[in-house]
Structure 1
């Protein structure tokens, strides 16, 4: 296949997004959203890996200019020359050029057997997993299956040939691919509706949690990690502060096999070690793959209100009470608390019902958690942050130590911060809300000032209608419910300089005029109905 001029130039994020979403459209209709998600994301990953390999290969050739051809040829096949520069080794038959050449299902390799393009891609995925330990058991091998339209797959490969992830250096290429990958996760989550929420948490929500916890260094854990968005945002936080991304080590677990594979690829794309996600997927309650982990930070968005879960009444994790049979919400929270180090902090997205429910002993568990002082803040979020689910959510923040120290200069050991952010953000269309940078800063800085952190701007003060630092005694008086609206009150009324007499006269005139107009319209409607009779 001839290489186009467009393939020689680096792609902009917009060009790549447009090109790759067109690629996804080529398979739409022949399979459902969850299937073509796996097909397209895996192929995008393969294209990036091959592009990065080719770029490194050309750099090696340039470095060895003037050396003998035999020496150059040998060096170009040295695995360490690639892996030592953070580039995956790609075997000859796994390279994009080879696959693209045979994308139309033409003869591949020696002998008389003909391979489909799907067979070639599956073989490439196998080679990548075998040759690169961090990718072992991660990449999808689904391209040769009967339900994948080989003609359309060949067209998809052809279209991807015009996209290029390199030409800007390895880190820039990874940033570009990361942006495209997250864009795809967002698009696929929307396409899959409610199911999409199981692997994808809105980036603005994740960023808010990370900006509050500020994970500069240590072990970051997510017991239901989905596609790995919490980890990626933690890495972005370090990048934004010009800090080494290896300052954090990530650990996670995911129940769904396909989602687990997505997470492993997502971490690989962002240059993060995915070994902490375990050798395979699994149920956190049935078999915790990190039983001895002590985490500095936990970020999680567990599935809400799970009714069928692996419950064991004698589980050592139930420090504050045994969770009910038909709801795992408080099981998730206690599991997370069991992982925290002495200075550890956690942020957990939860259903709003957790703030006041007394069903199945949940009220008593919540009471014991509050009395133990492990709840640091509760934030009520606005509805529509999750495109597929209109219901609002809340975020619980936990800390084993709220005294004055390294995590903040103000002792909050007998207080809980409540933030009512239900009016924050703005609608980007009729079904989805998002946060601006200012919204995220307002929420995060409120927490930072409350704890007295060095990163805080200004000093904390209760704001009627938005935030309140409540004592344990005040929470007890509220029946141990932690709905922020109960504590923050209502916003202060704006000052009105219009004299009361003038206001009454003005409003009376406006009301009279409105009633007169209503009567006029009523008469018109009755007249028109009379004509129809």
Structure 2
């Protein structure tokens, strides 16, 4: 539930901030002003934390240490010199050089705090040439937010998530960050259950997978100190956002020395992760040249992923980084479920190697930048019978040798932002419960028409190693027993026939006019 900001207009903090951010339109593009707002939110939050800790040092009789950075760093608080503090920024908010003062504050915070190296914007506000009146108005709005008042509410993190989602909505298809909706990330976390160990995201974006992993641990009374975070991001501005996002929440993470391409400049070549959560770019074309990466060790034991589409490059990158008992949950376009050629060979090998555990088809309209239905893959390096402690629960897992659970979730979800779909908490609980019941001995799992089906290796082999759920799940109440691929091929044939018929009709019509003594050209 969005918390109200007490300004009397009934709007939440997030909504009021969004209104202020919209006032920047005309001065900067929407794709830019997210960096403005989130940079200022970070500055306010860092300052509130600093002032709180500074006062605590004074109250504890340690006033002589209040200007020593080490006495802040040991409590996971960023040290701020005087000109980096929010009070100084607000005091000078009406000055003509306020953009320069903000840049200086951010530069000094990064310089004085090793964890933030490479994270904060560099001379960003000065370069944008913002209208001073609009910037001052935005500063006033942010000044009204006490970012640390409610210890139970992650106010800054909540604002951060809200803004990333709103920016994704505002920027539209093909632009901006490819923000992964929170309910999808929550679903993956509930399924692979990252309680402790190493978490990796090879295309981490602004760090949403990591944040939700930590929230999962905290909500299940785990210890976030038992988690290590590794990630990589290609775009420099997004890399900075990710570092800020983690810093805001006090999460330590290794995102590599710099923003870099995961395929061509792997920042974690020797990593073995216990959990992988990812939403890599869909259907990347020409991600490598003909003679590039052919001998990459990440493909060892598999065919080389085709350069025409990176989907299986991402899959094999993740497979190569799974630990002996590692699990991965990631989002891909549906086309990866049934592609031919080298993709077919790799997919078949993944199934034969007993790695594929579950395939989930998601509803349409879950993403802000595309309306297509997409797939969640769950991979598991250890599908053997075992007794395992998961959180506070002791589980007896059954042997799932080369079995795959298929889930069709297209009829599940609730409306969100009018035209989008998301999973509710109850939906996520139901789906995860089905998955965990399927994994375990005598937990009452049953195949359910239009929802789930557990397929044996022999069944998958008969379907020529397709992972399209509709090939396995029974449909009784909807006209969806027709396989997607078969349906598309039938439509393709029908469309081709229609085009041929249209062409024939044109010829016949032209002949009629010709016989009447008229010449007609259909050329544009």
The 5-angstrom pairing of residues 434-453 of structure 1 reads 434-452=422-440
Q: Say yes or no: does 1:263 pair with 2:242.
A: yes
How far is the alpha carbon of 1:491 from its aligned partner?
4.2
Whether contact under 8 Å (1:220, 1:250) holds in the other structure is yes
Whether contact under 8 Å (1:13, 1:176) holds in the other structure is no
Q: Say yes or no: does 1:241 pair with 2:220.
A: yes
Whether contact under 8 Å (2:355, 2:402) holds in the other structure is no
Whether contact under 8 Å (2:203, 2:234) holds in the other structure is yes
Paired position in structure 2 for 1:484: 469
The 5-angstrom pairing of residues 73-472 of structure 1 reads 74-105=64-95, 116-141=97-122, 142-169=124-151, 172=152, 175-195=154-174, 198-274=177-253, 276-310=254-288, 311-318=292-299, 319-358=301-340, 360-406=341-387, 409-452=397-440, 458-472=443-457
How far is the alpha carbon of 1:344 from its aligned partner?
0.4
How far is the alpha carbon of 1:121 from its aligned partner?
0.7
How far is the alpha carbon of 1:13 from its aligned partner?
12
Change in CA separation of 1:432 and 1:448 when aligned onto 2, cut-off 3 Å? same
Whether contact under 8 Å (1:199, 1:227) holds in the other structure is no
Bigger Cα displacement from structure 2, 252-261 vs 140-149: 140-149
C-alpha distance in 1 between matches for 2:465 and 2:269: 31
C-alpha distance in 2 between matches for 1:484 and 1:355: 9
Q: Deviations over 1:260-318 (max 9, x none)?
A: 111111111111013x1012100000010000000000001010110021342111211
C-alpha distance in 2 between matches for 1:251 and 1:139: 19
Q: Deviations over 1:230-269 (max 9, x none)?
A: 0000000011012111111110000011111111111111
How far is the alpha carbon of 1:321 from its aligned partner?
1.1
Whether contact under 8 Å (1:414, 1:472) holds in the other structure is yes
Change in CA separation of 1:145 and 1:383 when aligned onto 2, cut-off 3 Å? same
Q: Deviations over 1:9-67 (max 9, x none)?
A: 99999642133223312212221111101111001100110011112222222233xxx
Whether contact under 8 Å (1:199, 1:259) holds in the other structure is no
SS for the counterpart of 1:418 is strand
C-alpha distance in 2 between matches for 1:198 and 1:308: 20
Whether contact under 8 Å (1:11, 1:165) holds in the other structure is no
Whether contact under 8 Å (1:449, 1:460) holds in the other structure is yes
SS for the counterpart of 1:488 is coil
SS for the counterpart of 1:313 is coil
RMSD over equivalenced CA pairs, Å: 2.3
Change in CA separation of 1:403 and 1:492 when aligned onto 2, cut-off 3 Å? farther
How far is the alpha carbon of 1:153 from its aligned partner?
1.5
How far is the alpha carbon of 1:406 from its aligned partner?
4.8
Paired position in structure 2 for 1:30: 27
Whether contact under 8 Å (1:414, 1:471) holds in the other structure is yes
TM-score (structure 2 length as normaliser):
0.84
Whether contact under 8 Å (2:169, 2:368) holds in the other structure is yes
C-alpha distance in 1 between matches for 2:59 and 2:16: 31
C-alpha distance in 2 between matches for 1:418 and 1:214: 19
C-alpha distance in 1 between matches for 2:135 and 2:176: 27
SS for the counterpart of 1:485 is helix
C-alpha distance in 2 between matches for 1:398 and 1:14: 42
Change in CA separation of 1:489 and 1:201 when aligned onto 2, cut-off 3 Å? same
Whether contact under 8 Å (2:282, 2:332) holds in the other structure is yes
Bigger Cα displacement from structure 2, 191-200 vs 281-290: 191-200
Whether contact under 8 Å (2:356, 2:402) holds in the other structure is no
C-alpha distance in 2 between matches for 1:472 and 1:10: 60
Whether contact under 8 Å (2:116, 2:243) holds in the other structure is yes
Whether contact under 8 Å (2:178, 2:369) holds in the other structure is no
Paired position in structure 2 for 1:19: 16
Whether contact under 8 Å (1:254, 1:260) holds in the other structure is yes
Q: Which structure shows the bigger proportion of residues in helix conformation?
A: 1
How far is the alpha carbon of 1:195 from its aligned partner?
4.1
Whether contact under 8 Å (1:13, 1:179) holds in the other structure is no
How far is the alpha carbon of 1:485 from its aligned partner?
1.1
> Which runs of no fewer than 5 residues in structure 2 stay unpaired?
389-395, 479-524
C-alpha distance in 2 between matches for 1:127 and 1:338: 40
Whether contact under 8 Å (2:353, 2:402) holds in the other structure is no
Whether contact under 8 Å (2:200, 2:229) holds in the other structure is yes
SS for the counterpart of 1:475 is helix
> Which runs of no fewer than 5 residues in structure 1 stay unpaired?
1-5, 65-70, 107-115, 494-533
The 5-angstrom pairing of residues 4-15 of structure 1 reads 15=12
Q: Deviations over 1:467-510 (max 9, x none)?
A: 111111100111111111111111479xxxxxxxxxxxxxxxxx
Q: Which of 38, 44, 47 is the equivalent residue of 1:47?
A: 44
Change in CA separation of 1:286 and 1:11 when aligned onto 2, cut-off 3 Å? farther
C-alpha distance in 1 between matches for 2:32 and 2:109: 21
Q: Deviations over 1:91-114 (max 9, x none)?
A: 1100011111111116xxxxxxxx
SS for the counterpart of 1:396 is strand
Change in CA separation of 1:14 and 1:290 when aligned onto 2, cut-off 3 Å? farther
Q: Deviations over 1:414-446 (max 9, x none)?
A: 211111111111233552111111211121111
